[in-house]
Amino acid sequence: MNLTVTTYPNNTVPKLNYDVLIENQQDGGVSATVLGLPDFKGSGVTKEEALEKLIQLLQERKPEIVTLEIEPPKPNILG
């Protein structure tokens, strides 16, 4: 099996786009959670505050996205 990992040099890092779930909480606050990454969550009094806290968390933790390409094994053809 061949494995290729593509990374980007620091000076050409593409912008990262995240889908974020915004939820109104029972206490009147707002939470913002990156879909698929429940550890990345911000909360605040307003949607804007929750998103700003989420952005700060993402910047502090510096997630990295790489492209992983795996070539499937070649079929074993019996002759």
- Name the token pair of 48: 């804007």
Lowest model confidence (mean pLDDT) among 32-36, 52-56, 70-74: 70-74
- Name the token pair of 41: 């969550």
Burial of 17 (0-12, 13-18, 19+ CB in 10 A): exposed
The pLDDT > 90 percentage for the chain reads 42
Give this prediction's pTM: 0.64
- pLDDT at position 36 over 70: yes
- Name the token pair of 65: 């996205």
* pLDDT for 11: 60
Going by C-alpha positions, the residue among 18, 24, 66 that lies closest to residue 39 is: 18
